[in-house]
Structure formats: structure tokens, C-alpha cells
Structure 1
Amino acid sequence: MRLLQSEEELRNLIVADDWMMNILSTINTLQLPDWWVCAGVIRSMVWDYLHEKEERTPIADIDVIYFDKINLAEDIEKQYEQKLRKISPNEPWSVKNQARMHVLNGSKPYQSAVDGIAHFPEIPTAIGIKLIDDSLEIAAPYGIRHLGAGIVEPTPFFLENKDCYTIYRQRILQKKWHVSWPKLEINLQ
């Protein structure tokens, strides 16, 4: 299995992918506050690379997050999804304001979108990317070692919180990542 060992390698992988760069450019047109593309779309792309897949593994959605303490209504998120669908109708857009998502995990309110990313269930999922002035920025609260080596472990918040750890275990069983990417090291502790 290949490895991806640095943020620079990750940046190069993303920049070389026209589809991913188009996704980022599309989202950038909305000018959302503190926005990131995160989670599965990046994770799947990297795991496909690690497994030397020629075809992109289908994804359930393209997770777009942002942080706006003022407009917390869920219908605002749906409006952003509709705007993205008008620009790129064949993509499975999912938009979430991290200023309200802490409620799902029973944690303290997040301070930023990256704080929200740090509270995702798995370390290789806790990653975000965005364009700033045509430059690719990466948010990886736990680094990219796990992502780039195909190691799946819970983030500290999910490891330390019994109820959240149960959610982590259920996600591992439900997602069946080992079927699409059999060389992953999935830790259930």
C-alpha cells in the first residue's frame, strides 16, 4: 500500500485532481464564513490513492462546513445546498453550520469550523481543505499521519466519551470501509 506522508503530498494530490479543485472553486463562490470541505470526500480520495485505485470510490456526500454564530437556522444550510446544486447539480452536497453542530455530540459550543472538525468521530475524517486566493489550505487538527497511512482511530473526544465511542464503533460497522479499502488498519480498541 502506498503512503501519503506530508501535507505537501496531500496538497499535490488534491491540486492534481480537477474534480476536487472544481468542487473547491464551486464552494468558494458562496463566500461562506470560515468554510471547509471536509471528511469523507477527502478521506475517500486519499484512501483510493493509498489503494492505487484507478476509479474514484463513490461518496455519499460532499461535506461542506462553515461557522456562523449569527445565522443558526438549519434552513440557511439548505439554501446553501440549493445554491450549490444550481451551480453543480450532479454533486451530493451537504452543508452544515458548525456553530450549531456541537449539540449532536453533547459537547461545548465549537469556536470555529476547525474546532468542529476536531470533534469529528475518526482521526482520518477530521480533515478539511479550502481555497484562499487560489491557494489550497489544509486543516488537520490531528495531522495527516492516520489519513495517509490508512489508520482509523477515534478522535480524542470520541475516545474519551463513552457515548461517543459507541457512535464511533457503530460508524465503523455501518460504513464497512474495509470492503472498499481492505488494507486499512481499523482500531476498535
Structure 2
Amino acid sequence: MISRLPLDHQLESLRAVLSRNDVLAEVLARAATLDLPGCYVTAGCLFQTVWNVVTDRPPASGIKDYDVFYFDGSDLSWEAEDAVIKAGRDVFADLPAEVEIRNEARVHLWYEDKFGVACPPYESIEAAIDSFAATTCCLGVRVETDGRWRVYAPHGLSDMFNLVVRPNPVLAPRSVYEAKAARWRKQWPELTVLEWPARTVRSTSSGG
């Protein structure tokens, strides 16, 4: 079982599994050419690829988009982010998938309007990943200039390989977690979805 392997072996297995998704492999390679600060390919396209492989589905099955997140606090204007998004459209144009590029330094400007709770400004891309609604979501991968993979996984990889969805009640409200989990379970009924804890203490600390 992969989740019981030493961590370095788990990372090797992660790379082997993710590389089976040809679209994801292209997104990782092309994202590196954009030279975006702190850039990671992150969230659903990663753990859902793993779920697909573990459950013997086609690696890209059910993945609706591929998230490319970066962190640039030097210019928080929408115009600056939009320029990056437009540049990315050209880079990813021929891929059979939607690639969503976002500057996580700007999240606090729109998060409360969308989700109903305030989001303190992030200090890093890693801090943004730390606050995703489920711990399984808290994963980022990028390809370095020398071809090595950098993996950020603050909660480890065991839950992902074991098909466990665990709440991460540090920012996103319960409704967001439950909506995501319900959607995922329809696509991957093998998942074990853990309940939101009865009492939570909201934290604004960053784990970057």
C-alpha cells in the first residue's frame, strides 16, 4: 500500500501516478515556462488524478479544470492578474482542458464576497494552499528549472492515496467543504468523507 511507504517512496509514487495524466503533465511543463513567482499546479487536478488511478479509472476522468496558482504581492490589481491569465491562455490554448490561473496574493480582495467569511491576506502561496477546504486539497506541484519536481503537501499524502476526504476548518466554511465533498463522492463513490468537526476554532495563521 502506497500510503505505508516511506515518504520518499510515496513522492516517487506520486510522480509516477500524476505522470499518467497526459494533460496534467503538459500543464506542469508549460506552467514552468510562464516563470510565475511561487507557481504551483494545485488542488483537484492532482488528487483527482490519484483517485482515478487508484480506482482504475482513466487518469483524467472527471477533472473539470487545472489550477495554476502563483503569488505576486507586488501588484494586486486585477489588470496585472488578467495580463497573466491572458498570457496563459496562449500557452495552454491547445490543451483539451480548462486551465485556471490565479494570483493567490489577491484572494483576500474577493473571498468574503464569494464565500461569506473574511480571508486575511496570504503571506505566501504555501499559506494559500494551507487554507483549502479539505486537507486532501492541500497539495501543490511544480517543475523546477532543472526538471526536478517540488511538492508541497502540508498534510502528507496518505489520505489522498487512501481515498479519504478530511475537512480543513481553518478558513473555508462548512458549506463549501460539504458541497465539494458531495460533488466528489458522486464522481468517486469509493471515497470516505469525514464529517466537519462539531466545534472548530478558526485560525488565521499561515503555514508558509
TM bin (shorter chain)? 0.7 to 0.9
1:83 matches 2:87: yes
Aligned equivalent of 1:167, options 172, 176, 189: 176
TM-score by length of 1: 0.86
Larger CA deviation: 115-124 vs 16-25: 16-25
Aligned equivalent of 1:148, options 143, 151, 161: 161
RMSD between aligned residues: 2.0
Letter in 1 for 2:168: T
Aligned to 1:99: 105
Alignment of 1:25-174 (within 5 A): 25-54=29-58, 56-89=60-93, 90=95, 91-103=97-109, 104=111, 106-132=118-144, 133-158=146-171, 164-173=173-182
Aligned-residue identity in percent:
25
**1-structure distance, mates of 2:58, 2:131:** 32
**1-structure distance, mates of 2:161, 2:78:** 33
Letter in 1 for 2:52: D
Larger CA deviation: 40-49 vs 99-108: 99-108
**2-structure distance, mates of 1:15, 1:55:** 9
> Can you list the C-alpha shifts for 1:115-162, whole angstroms capped at 9, x where unaligned?
10000101111111001121111111111111111111111414xxxx
**1-structure distance, mates of 2:135, 2:15:** 18
**2-structure distance, mates of 1:78, 1:130:** 21
Cα deviation, residue 14, structure 1: 2.4
Letter in 2 for 1:166: S
Given that 1:41 and 1:59 are in contact with CA atoms closer than 8 Å, whether structure 2 keeps it comes out as: yes
Following TM superposition, the consecutive aligned residue runs of length 4 or more in structure 1 with deviations greater than 6 angstroms are none
Contiguous gaps of at least 5 residues in structure 2? 4-9, 112-116, 197-208
Give the match's secondary structure for 1:157: coil
TM-score by length of 2: 0.79
Given that 2:49 and 2:59 are in contact with CA atoms closer than 8 Å, whether structure 1 keeps it comes out as: no
Given that 1:81 and 1:93 are in contact with CA atoms closer than 8 Å, whether structure 2 keeps it comes out as: no
**2-structure distance, mates of 1:81, 1:4:** 36
Give the match's secondary structure for 1:34: coil
Cα deviation, residue 110, structure 1: 1.4
Cα deviation, residue 79, structure 1: 2.3
Aligned to 2:114: none
Aligned to 2:6: none
Aligned equivalent of 2:185, options 175, 178, 185: 178
Give the match's secondary structure for 1:95: strand
Cα deviation, residue 17, structure 1: 4.2
**2-structure distance, mates of 1:21, 1:4:** 21
Change (3 A) 1:19 1:93: closer
Q: Which has the higher contact order (CA 8 A, sep 6+)?
A: 1
Aligned to 1:187: 194
